[in-house]
Amino acid sequence: MDIHEYQAKEVLSNFGVEVPPGALAYSPEQAAYRAREMGGERWVVKAQIHAGGRGLAGGVKVCNSDVEIQEVTENMFGRRLVTHQTGPEGKGIYRVYVEAAVPIDREIYLGFVLDRTSQRVMIVASAEGGMEIEDISADRPDSIVRATVEPAVGLQEFQCREIAFKLGIDAGMVQQMVRTLQGCFRAFTELDATMVEINPLVITGDNRILALDAKMTFDDNALFRHPQISELRDKSQEDPRESRAADRGLSYVGLDGNIGCIVNGAGLAMATMDTIMLAGGEPANFLDIGGGATPERVAKAFRLVLSDAKVEAILVNIFAGINRCDWVAEGVVKALREVEVNVPVIVRLAGTNVEEGQKILAESGLPLIRATTLVEAAERAVGAWQSDLDQSTKVRAV
């Protein structure tokens, strides 16, 4: 789960990371009021969306008066901001963060991530901040500092000092950097985060180290331990299909293809998508219904896949171990009788109670396309989709 910049800054400040003064606004008038309330001569207005690259896309503006703030925010609210991370559809701007401008001497990149290879938290930093880490790695690989944290002892002060020295931090400011690093690490570990990124972390003209921007991502599976973090979720920034799936206990990732996938198990889902691609098609989603594939759960999965207007065929691929093929078959039949399905449905069942499942499908009287192997199922799904596509093209031509 991602959160907004202003939320990440509030979380990090609670762990001792210093941030500039700022306030949230939901309207141009409120944004101007927030600036007057903070005082000062210059402010930065930042669109709050779950994506990077806001500055280049016009989502970050420096303003010199409350009148200018109101004009800038009037142009932001309701607009869809398109960055290199949002895709062409962009993300809607429904709130802005008004922050006091600070004099910047240096910009630094700082990130905390899970390194799957070493099974450790890795700190990635660079003296070249203000740009994407991929660009820094490509343009100035020697500037990147890496350090892993031993889980048994946590992040030690000597490690923080080493990082500070490698980044060229002045001796008089090293202790500030130590507090910043340890605060980020504590937030990362105590809140079950999967990423903390501050870009840029700035050194100001009055020798302070401030988080000028912040991003945090959290492990969805651990949110039950942190209700205060779960409450920060903003569904307006998420794919609505994925939000609906999460609310129904389903794992769903929307893709750009036309063949919907209903599968149990992440590994089988990946294999199914690969096989569809090999057969000449393109998957419309990754949907894992998990171990409890009850008829009701399968019916929910059908409704979710069909809510995507791009779906022109559905492939159900179930390998029943914990599941039962007869349950899945009942769910497919129930869904097709309750939900209007105007696309071909291909079903491949294997495993526990497969004979009973196949019998239920055969006796249902529904226009299902059955398959016995994954390759056969993928080929029939692509064939049915192409046939349906050709037919619709002929109808439009007539």
> Is 191 or 264 the better-scoring residue by pLDDT?
191
Give the confidence band of 265 by pLDDT, cuts at 50, 70, 90: confident
* Catalytic hit among 5, 128, 197, 242: 197
Residue 393, pLDDT above cutoff 70: no
In this predicted structure, what is the pLDDT of residue 87?
79
> Is 236 or 93 the better-scoring residue by pLDDT?
93
Whether pTM > 0.85 for this model: the answer is no
Tell me what percent of the residues of the chain surpass a pLDDT of 90.
57
Sheet containing strand 96-100, edge to edge, reads: 22-25, 96-100, 43-47, 60-63
99 is in an annotated binding site: yes
Q: Is 197 a catalytic residue?
A: yes
CA distances from 89 to 34, 92, 234, 256, 348 (A): 30, 9, 18, 12, 34
d(CA 75, CA 62): 14
pLDDT digits over 311-345, tens only?
899 999 988 877 788 888 888 888 888 877 788 99
Tell me what percent of the residues of the chain surpass a pLDDT of 70.
94
d(CA 77, CA 34): 16
375 is in an annotated binding site: no
Residue 390, pLDDT above cutoff 60: no
State which H helix or E strand residue 10 sits in: helix 5-13
> Is 297 or 211 the better-scoring residue by pLDDT?
211
Residues 336-356 have a mean pLDDT of: 87
Radius of gyration of the chain (CA): 26
State which H helix or E strand residue 32 sits in: helix 28-38
CA 3 distance to own-chain centroid: 10
238 is in an annotated binding site: no
In this predicted structure, what is the pLDDT of residue 396?
37
The answer to whether the CB of 248 falls within 8 A of the CB of 242 is: no
Give the confidence band of 248 by pLDDT, cuts at 50, 70, 90: low
Residues 166, 167, 168, 169, CA torsion sign:
negative
Q: Is 97 a catalytic residue?
A: no
Using alpha carbons, select from 288, 364, 283, 370 the residue that is nearest to residue 331: 364
Give the confidence band of 398 by pLDDT, cuts at 50, 70, 90: very low
The answer to whether the CB of 318 falls within 8 A of the CB of 350 is: yes
In this predicted structure, what is the pLDDT of residue 397?
37
Give the confidence band of 173 by pLDDT, cuts at 50, 70, 90: very high
The answer to whether the CB of 319 falls within 8 A of the CB of 282 is: no
In this predicted structure, what is the pLDDT of residue 169?
94
In this predicted structure, what is the pLDDT of residue 264?
84
Mean pLDDT computed over every residue of the chain:
88
pLDDT digits over 78-109, tens only?
899 998 888 788 899 999 999 999 999 999 99
Give the confidence band of 293 by pLDDT, cuts at 50, 70, 90: low
User: In sequence order, what are the beta bridge partners of 113?
Assistant: 122, 195
In this predicted structure, what is the pLDDT of residue 307?
82
In this predicted structure, what is the pLDDT of residue 17?
96
285 is in an annotated binding site: no
In this predicted structure, what is the pLDDT of residue 249?
67
Strands (E), 39-165: 43-47, 60-63, 80-81, 91-92, 96-100, 104-115, 120-126, 144-149
363 is in an annotated binding site: no
pLDDT digits over 17-70, tens only?
999 999 999 999 999 999 999 999 999 999 999 988 898 889 999 999 999 999
Secondary structure percentages of the chain, helix, strand, coil, to 5? 40, 25, 35
CA distances from 171 to 111, 162, 368 (A): 22, 11, 72
d(CA 48, CA 38): 19
In this predicted structure, what is the pLDDT of residue 365?
87
* Catalytic hit among 6, 97, 109, 252: 109
Give the confidence band of 151 by pLDDT, cuts at 50, 70, 90: very high
29 is in an annotated binding site: no
317 is in an annotated binding site: no
Q: Would you list the DSSP string of 201-213?
A: EEEETTS-EEESS
The answer to whether the CB of 198 falls within 8 A of the CB of 211 is: yes
CA 140 distance to own-chain centroid: 27
All structural domains of the chain, each given as residue ranges with its CATH number in brackets, are 21-100 (3.30.1490.20), 104-229 (3.30.470.20), 240-389 (3.40.50.261)
The answer to whether the CB of 122 falls within 8 A of the CB of 114 is: yes
Using alpha carbons, select from 286, 239, 215 the residue that is nearest to residue 89: 239
